[in-house]
Structure 1
Amino acid sequence: MHQLQLTKPDGRRLTLYSRRPIDTGLQAPSPFAEPLHPNPHLRWHPLRGEWVAYAAHRQDRTFLPPPEYNPLAVTSDPEHPTELPAGDWDVAVFDNRFPSLTAAAHDAPLSTVPTAIGNGHCEVVVFTQDPSSSLGRLPVEHLALLIEVWGDRCRHLGQQHDIAYVLPFENRGKEVGVTLHHPHGQIYAYPEVPPVPRRMGEQQAAHLAEHGRGLLETMIEREIADHARRLLYLGELAVAWVPACARYPYEVWVATRRPVARFEQLCDADRLDLARALKTVLLKYDGLWQRPMPYLMAWYSAPSQGDHPGWHLHAQLWPPYRTPDKLKVLAGTELAAGWFAVDALPEDKAAELQAVPVELDR
Structure 2
Amino acid sequence: MSTARRRTATRLADGRELIYFDDSPEFLSGEREHRLDDPRPLADRFSPVPDADGVPQPFTGPQMRRDPLTGDWIPLASHRMNRTFLPAADSCPLCPARPDAEYADGEIPDTHYDVAVFENRFPSLMRVPGQDADGQGVAAPADTVPDDPRDLLEVAAPAAGRCEVICFSSDHRTSVVDLPVSRIRTIVDAWADRTTALGAEASIQQVFCFENRGRDIGVTLPHPHGQIYGYPYLTPRTERLLDQARVYRERTGGNLLRDILHAEQASGERVVLRSEHWTAYVPYAARWPVEVHLAPHRDVGTIPELTDSERDDLAVIYRELLRRADAFFVESDGTPIELPYIAAWHQMPSSRAGRTTTDDGAPLARLHLELFSILRAPGKLKYLAGSESGMGAWISDTTPERIAARFHQLGPVDLSASPASAITANGAHA
Residue of structure 1 in register with 2:314 after alignment: 274
AA at the equivalent of 2:20: L
Match 2:122 to one of 76, 94, 98: 98
Rg larger in 1 or in 2? Answer: 2
Aligned to 1:236: 276
Contact persistence 2:177–2:322 (CA under 8 A): yes
Structure 1 runs, 4 residues or longer, greater than 6 Å off: 105-108
Letter of the 1:34 counterpart: A
Deviation at 1:29, TM superposition (A): 3.0
In structure 1, C-alpha distance between the alignment counterparts of 2:93 and 2:39, rounded to whole Å: 9
Q: Aligned pair in 2 of structure 1 residues 140, 217: CA closer, same or farther (>3 Å)?
A: same
Q: Which residue of 2 aligns with 1:303?
A: 349
Normalised by the length of structure 1, the TM-score is 0.92
Q: 2:197 — aligned with what?
A: 156
Aligned-partner Cα distance in 1 for 2:290–2:315: 19
Which residue pairs with 1:71 in the alignment?
Answer: 93
- Change in 2 beyond 3 A, CA 1:342/1:140: same
Q: Does the 8 A contact of 2:339 with 2:375 survive in 1?
A: no
**How far 1:231 sits from its partner (Å)?**
1.5
Instruction: Tell me if 1:33 matches 2:73.
Output: no
Question: What aligned pairs does 1:117-136 form with structure 2 within 5 A after superposition?
Answer: 117-136=158-177
Q: 1:259 corresponds to which residue?
A: 299
Which residue pairs with 1:294 in the alignment? 340
Q: Distance in 2 between matches of 1:253 and 1:184?
A: 21
What is the CA–CA distance in structure 2 between the aligned matches of 1:356 and 1:32, rounded to whole Å?
Answer: 51
C-alpha RMSD of matched pairs (Å): 2.3
Query: SS of the residue aligned with 2:327?
Result: helix
Q: Distance in 1 between matches of 2:398 and 2:198?
A: 39
Distance in 1, Cα, partners of 2:263 & 2:198: 35
Equivalent residues, number: 360
Aligned residue type for 2:42 = A
> What TM-score do the two structures reach when normalised by structure 2?
0.78
Q: Distance in 2 between matches of 1:292 and 1:281?
A: 13
Task: Find the aligned partners of 2:192 and 2:131 in 1 and give their Cα distance.
Answer: 32
Structure 1 counterpart of 2:399, which letter? Answer: L
Q: Distance in 2 between matches of 1:256 and 1:31?
A: 43
Query: Which residue of the partner structure matches residue 72 of structure 2?
Result: 50
Unaligned segments of structure 2, at least 5 residues: 47-59, 133-149, 330-335, 358-362, 419-427
Q: Deviations over 1:173-219 (max 9, x none)?
A: 11111110000011111111111112212322443444343222211
Q: Is the 8 A contact 2:97 2:111 kept in 1?
A: no
Corresponding residue of 1:175: 216
Identity %: 34
Alpha carbons of structure 1 residues 230 and 8: separation in structure 2 relative to 1, 3 Å: same
The answer to whether the 8 A contact 2:6-2:22 is kept is yes
Question: For the Cα contact (< 8 Å) 2:34–2:110, is it kept in 1?
Answer: no
| Mapped pair 1:19 → 2:73 | no
Of residues 317-326 and 72-81 in structure 1, the stretch that sits farther from structure 2 once superposed is 72-81
- Equivalent positions of 1:181-220 (< 5 A) are 181-220=222-261
